[in-house]
Amino acid sequence: MGVVHGNLLATVTLLIIVVFSAILVLFTMIIPSLPAVRQSPIVLARLGTLYFLLIGLGFMFVEIGLIQRLSRSLAIPVYGLAIGLFGIILSTGIGSLVSEYAPLASRQRVLAWSILLCLYLVLLPFWFPQIRAEHPQ
């Protein structure tokens, strides 16, 4: 009974956090941006929303995969989280600095960077060592 009650409590806690996060996003991002969205063409608003949604989802999926792999290889999840987030934030900052000197001014550059990014993401799992279940707990 204790495990079931603990799982139920954890699920309710996560649900409350999601609801409060949605309310905060609504009041801090959605409602203040409505006047600007109403002045722009509806196609632009939809495509812009889709664009940033896909960027956010892609970033989160890569982040979750890296942190899971690091957590398993370091055998302590908190270390994997700390090192993974540090590496992601550092890489994002370096990318922001480099983007000033290498603008994406043409379709060829956008395509080249997209191909390099996809190649990197496909090869990334092979660069990390294979994880075995032999780590001591």
Question: What integer is the mean pLDDT of 23-28?
Answer: 95
Please tell me whether residues 9 and 52 are part of one structural domain: no
- Is pLDDT of 2 > 80? no
Same-domain check for residues 11 and 62:
no
- For residues 16 and 5, the model is more confident at 16
* Same domain membership, residue 54 and residue 112: yes
Supply the mean pLDDT for the chain. 85
* Residue 133, pLDDT score: 45
Name the amino acid, one letter, at 104.
L
Give percent of the chain above pLDDT 90.
29
The 10 Å Cβ neighbour count of residue 67 is 19
pLDDT at 1: 64
Token pair 């190649």 is at which residue?
A: 119
What DSSP letter does each residue of 54-86 carry, written as one string? Answer: HHHHHHHHHHHHHHHHHHHHHS-HHHHHHHHHH
Clarify whether residues 5 and 72 are in a common domain. no
Q: 51 and 34, same structural domain?
A: no
Residues 57 and 25 in one domain: no
57 shares a domain with 46 = yes
The pLDDT value given to residue 26: 93
Cα maximum dimension of the chain: 62
55-109 pLDDT, tens digit per residue, is 999 888 888 888 888 887 787 888 888 988 898 899 889 988 988 888 888 899 8
| CA dist., res. 106 & res. 55, Å (int) | 20
- How many domains are there within the chain? 2
Rounded to two decimals, what is the model's pTM? 0.60
Nearest to 96 by CA among 108, 88, 107: 88
pLDDT(135) > 70 = no
Q: Give the pLDDT confidence score for residue 100 in this predicted structure.
A: 86
- Domain residue limits at 48: 41-137
